[in-house]
Amino acid sequence: MPGAVAAVTTSTTTPRPASSSRPRRGREDVLAAATALFRERGYDATSMSDIAARLGVTKAALYRHVKSKPALLRAALGPVRAAVLALLEESAAGEGRYVERLAGLLCGLSDGASADPAGHGLFWSADRPTDEDDRDPVCRESVFRRVAELLERAAAEGDVRDDLEPRLAARLLLGAVVGRGGLQDGPVTPSREPVDLLLDGLT
């Protein structure tokens, strides 16, 4: 039956519609691209369109992974937040004199800020937009309260001056350690010298 053969031949040689050339991207790809752009350009100078363009996807595809730019920043800063919380837990579980526990916490914050100045700069910034799901302000406040508590207890042990208001001293210490991306330039080294210099001013 020639007609049937011709029909089969035609159906097998008809070209299929070309598939979309846009790549499929997962959440980890989105976070990596956002983190890179936030570091290169800064948070305010980076738009969702910029991130979509870096990934080679549409903005609609991007919004399938995150609901907003602040939510994307919060997710991108997850490793920074986790590291800061780990330092808080370590400080709470520590032993020894309070000035040493204070130095350990400040050294950890300084090392983290030196290793990732852009990430820590964004994390510690009080000026960035937030939403109701943002826990970073609570985390920052917890660090501040812990530093103030350690200063107060170190003063009671006679290791730091007792004529300084702990909350004010805590603000100054944290600003020096994390406010400018850490106290060290270049690769992180296992040195507590910068923190010791700060604490020397309190003794």
Q: If you average pLDDT over residues 151-170, what whole number do you get?
A: 92
Residue 201, Ramachandran bin (φ over 0: left; ψ between -120 and 50: alpha; else beta) = alpha
Domains and CATH numbers, the chain: 23-76 (1.10.10.60), 78-200 (1.10.357.10)
Query: How far, in Å, CA of 130 to CA of 116, rounded?
Result: 21
| Dihedral of the alpha carbons of 198, 189, 135, 43, in degrees to the nearest 10 | 100
Residue 193 confidence class, pLDDT cut points 50, 70, 90: low
Instruction: List, for residues 92-108, the tens digit of each pLDDT value.
Output: 998 899 999 999 999 99
Residue 127 has pLDDT above 80, yes or no: no
Question: Which residues are CB-neighbours of 58 under 8 A, at least 6 positions away?
Answer: 22, 52
Query: Which pLDDT band holds residue 88 (cuts at 50, 70, 90)?
Result: very high
pLDDT(188) > 60: no
Q: What is the pLDDT of residue 202?
A: 78
- When the pLDDT of each residue in the chain is averaged and rounded to a whole number, the result is 81
| Residue with tokens 């907003």, as numbered in its chain | 68
Q: Which two tokens stand for residue 126?
A: 């009080």
Cα 162 from Cα 152, distance rounded (Å): 8
pLDDT of residue 49: 95
Rg (alpha carbons) of the chain, rounded to whole number: 26
pLDDT band at 139 (very low <50, low <70, confident <90, very high): very high
Q: Identify the band that residue 56 occupies on the pLDDT scale cut at 50, 70 and 90.
A: very high
User: Residue 2 pLDDT more than 80?
Assistant: no
- Between 164 and 89, whose confidence is greater? 89
Question: Based on the number of CB atoms within 10 Å of its own CB, is 88 exposed (0-12), middle (13-18) or buried (19 or more)?
Answer: middle
Task: Report pTM.
Answer: 0.74
Closest CA to 203 of 164, 149, 147, 146: 164
Lowest mean pLDDT, pick from 100-109, 112-121, 178-187: 178-187
Q: What share of the chain in percent tops pLDDT 90?
A: 38
pLDDT at 141: 94
